[in-house]
A and B are shown apart, each in its own frame.
Chain A
Amino acid sequence: MFRKTVLFTAIALAAAGFGTAQAQSSRDYISIVGSSTVYPFATVVAEQFGKGSAFKTPKIESTGSGGGFKLFCAGVGVQHPDITNASRAIKASEIDTCKANGVAEIVEVKIGYDGIVLANSRKAKPMTISRKDIFLALAKQVPDPKGGEQVVANPYRTWQDVNAALPAVKIEVLGPPPTSGTRDAFLELAMEDGAKHFPWIKKMEKEDAKQFKSIAHTIREDGAFIEAGENDNLIVQKLEANVNAFGIFGFSFLDQNSDKIQGSLVDGIEPTFEAIAKGSYPLSRPLFFYVKKAHADVIPGIKQYLNEFTSEKAWGGDGYLAEKGMIPMPDAERKQYRAAATALKAMAAK
């Protein structure tokens, strides 16, 4: 019995060692990392690509945009990913890291937009809110309501306190934790913009960026904002149970649960597919993926994957990505990025 165990272990180790040597010399599937926002879209493309072609289905890890770039820029070789998804454009510092590790040529592909919604249960009335209201309702420190150029701890308890036009309901917002990309985008698109409605805070952005960030990017911690974890489905369930609560999440969750929840109108615009596509809905952001050009000829299927992703049946107005809640780009932009992707045109240095 003992001897057998030892034998099995030896065989397993030998097999593993042999297999490892094989796996390291080549990889026959595409390895993709990156943003959790792009993940639900990239996975659909990967699946369609894998089932519809002779290639293996790409492997996609949801690491977050920053984590994706870190892995992507670690170097060239089969142990490093080929493509990284991002819910923001690559930063200059990340390009530098890539260069330093030998990843010189990167192909940037913009794929569409994602909207961030503030939603509540369908049993309640929809709310019309401005970004300034959002900032005042959720920031930890707000400009003194009595006037003057100083901030005080957020005194607002109900939406009506913030803006007399809003309902007299306690402020209660469920949102993503600081690790989430949705939270970053929400801070940037809603809170920062709302803060800039106050001229003296706007002026501060240039003079004292740190102070500005601490005002615009700090969410209140007195119970009005509840961190609900990464699971957006959970937020939807909680909204259903509590008609007074609002939730912050990606548009695709609103789209999938439109029988239970409704999006608030931000600056007068309803979060609809069309409004985000047109760019009129204020809380929307572009989504990207980046391809390591050096891998395109080494890993089988990268070109075909790009072709699939940039085809009309995927990212077009009626494509299956739109079905999943991604907001397509205008025709001209789609054409431009498809051309760049199929030609593997590397980004110009920033």
Chain B
Amino acid sequence: MISTLSFVHSGAVKRGLQASGAIPSRFTVGDAAVQPTVGEPFSDQARMSCRQVNVYYGAKQSIIDVSLDIGRNEVVAMIGPSGCGKSTFIRCLNRMNDTIPGCRVDGTITLDGVDIYGKEIDVVPLRAQVGMVFQKPNPFPKSIYQNVAYGPKIHGLAQSRAELDEIVETSLRRAGLWDEVKDRLDQPGTSLSGGQQQRLCIARTIAVSPEVILMDEPCSALDPIATSVIEDLIGELKSQYSIAIVTHSMQQAARVSQRTAYLHLGKLLEVGQTERIFTRPRHPLTEAYITGRFG
């Protein structure tokens, strides 16, 4: 209750201050004075750190003051009702929002301490480091092999054909797809089933060896069996990558993630250990959402 009040209060004050330019956009970890979010948004082993991120579509603001870390070898799940800005937020993490006309991001997002919105930053290497899996499986209309090999090819990760074959095989094995497709690598990726297509997209993403993988509702178009395969896969992938996953399904968030963040109308209301969030939510709105009172 107290924290809710403090959130409302400090949020209002901070916006006013920022508009007048009094507060610098960079914040250090643990700057609690203007921290509205309940719980533990920060991590000791942060790969990516977001501070006071605001996103505007034209005049409309859809992300308000979000600060969050994504740690090494952890899966962070974003949950929240439709339109709360989950997708918008993770699309900021590899600057996919750059492609949307009229979209503006302010605040700071760093990857391993480097500001990814900095002037000298090139989005091409950034997206090689921060890969993305989309809601709808979107393999290229090319062969399975070409789908996986495309990233390594354009980034020059393989010196020879053999090396490329190696990368393709490893990536497909990691994505748990190798045994299913090894005999038909030259067939179009679009000929696979929905779940296979999504795993192909994951293989395509990990083929360029990113540091962070962003997943935007990766299972929403899949059946329960395909979903459970992907969820198992996410569990395995976290040993190597940091993963941020947006999901509609609270069960999925509970199954795959270590930390869960609850977004509400563009604000990050609560972040915490997944188990804690689902058992002892501190914010009343979080509680309302996870108990199914709305969403």
A and B directly contacting (CB within 8 A) = no
